[in-house]
Structure 1
Amino acid sequence: MLITELAQLCNAQPQGGNASASITSAADIMSAHAYQVTVLSDGKYKKYLKDCQASACFISQQLAEGSEAPKNLTLLICQDPEISFLNAVKALHPEPHLKRQVSEHAVLADTTTLGYDTYVGPFASIGQHSSVGDSSTIEASVHIGNHVAIGKNCRIHPNVVIYDHSVIGNNVIIHAGAIIGADGFGYKFRDNQHIKVPHVGNVVIEDNVEIGANTCIDRGALGSTRIGLGSKIDNLVQLGHNNTVGRNVIICGQSGISGSCTIEDGAILAGSVGLADHVKIGSRAVIMARSGISQDVEPGAQVFGSPAKDKKVAWRELAALAKLPELIQKIKALESRLTKLEE
């Protein structure tokens, strides 16, 4: 695309350089070269601008003022450089287009309903009374059970398994190997044995959710496990039965959420966070990486550690712990001096 075309597409105003030059791809500001577009959205990277080899750079008016940009670099002035750059990346690196068809090697039940312009890949299977909405893509070797509803414009990547009665909204992305709707891990110990708790609920995933590769979301025991609108779940996450995840929640990789937890709107769970069952995470709370949560977390709180506590308290404790060997040596020296004085 020409820089002028890219600027128009991304609501940016070209300034300097050669705006009629072509752009073939996108790159970060430290590695970009000619015919590439980059972005400067943080002042701490401004030092890289003067030696930038890219042909164009998305930048805010504030950062552009007084900047030392090369003569051959066109500045694309815009209100939100990050979002404009993401739009440029999408335009320059489009997803491969799959021809809308149902593979002859797919297996569909006679009561399966497919919407307009859908794609079903080879060796995919769709069960009885299940439906797939318009413009959705079911890739190779996906298994969709009975009475499953999948909305419009969804993309289900290879080897995903969606169990019976699951409900998937519109614009949902589920990456390879994810399991939606398996039985929860529920047992009762009686007569020296573990008795399995039947799980007859389902999973409900609302619109605009993205679920990472090899993530598992268990069905409810009686009701639903629910993932709210716009939430994003990373790879290798375990979500137990009857959890309720609010809107626009972020859950990072290798986190484990026990059963019947509530994670309210806008909360963030960083990598390797663990939640005990029946815990409530308040709206916009931040659980920092590798924290263990056994009690409710207030809205807006930022906690760290295992057991988790306010991050400032936890950091002070860690700083004090680092000084412990030195303190032990001082105490031993004082004890030695005290012993000599007593003698």
Structure 2
Amino acid sequence: MGTYRVWVDGRIILAGDDLDLTTVDPLSDDALRRLAGQLLSWERAPRGYTARQITFLQDDLAALQTALAIPVPPYPPGTRIRAHGVTDGTTSLGTTITTARDNTGNLHYVWRPDVYDLPGHPYRHHHIDHTLTSPERLVEPTLEGPDTAVDGPNAPAVLTYGGRIRAHEVEPIAGSAWPTIDSLLAARTAAHLPLADEELLVALRELTTTTRGPLGPAVNRPARPIHSFDVTLDPHSPELPASAFDWFRRDAATRPAFLTVTGDTVRILDAAHGFIDVRAAALQEALRRSDADLATLLARHSTVVLDGAESQLTKAALAAAHVPDITTPADGLSPPPPTAGDPDPPFELDF
């Protein structure tokens, strides 16, 4: 049997030692739901209660059970979820944004990981534009709060500012996602947090220390590199063999388009057109065309109907999928052959 205490506004309202947890993890969502069911016995039991206990049992218990109930799929926007990795056993916590279905009707969730909101993360201030997409089979609802990245195998080594407290007396509350020492120092300068002597500075990709100098604390250079392979926590890490996700900014007049890359195949997710799978080379050629040229090409195909809210990425993906000769230049002339070693012509996208 397990013991429990129910707190309301900082005070213990109910407590007991008769909660059966023999078949569930005491820290799991199921344990909380079992506790809510156990509290029903308090409501039915013929015993004397205080006024505060009566208020909780009559007014708050039903709301608590509703909040703990397992949501019915497809989960609505704002649902807390745990997403499992496609190729490994890693998991990440986040919140659902919307849903979509692929060409075979399978449900997918578009969601935002909690770590995107950590200080220093490049996607912290892009709450809609930057998301991930996971198939329904790899997503489950959870009651856990936001993931602060202070535990697990990918947790930063040091999370404290300064170095004047014994390590065993420190309880980490939330991590950060500054990728480099320079970005960390810039953030501290902006926040008016001065350096201290003999301080350990830790970022996602490197760490270093400070020493006492004639003009105050000095940062020791060069910083020691740290391996950074977490595509969610550090999506722009130079150590990632290939970007698993590529994201594009958008303006207020267009729908967001989400893109994933797997080998030579690119998958674009658009809320109206669903999933669009194309070859990377074809999409690259389509992206070199103007927005007006893409609209003209797509207008010739009765199978494609535009609603006017598509981003250029979505139009390029539709063109790559439906226009066989997309690699032919708009003026009909072939471009000159590239010189060995020449980079691809640059292009800027704003979605």
TM-score (normalizing by structure 2)? 0.23
Report 1 or 2 for greater relative contact order, CA contacts < 8 Å, sequence distance ≥ 6. 2
Q: Which has the higher strand share?
A: 1
Q: Which has the higher helix share?
A: 2
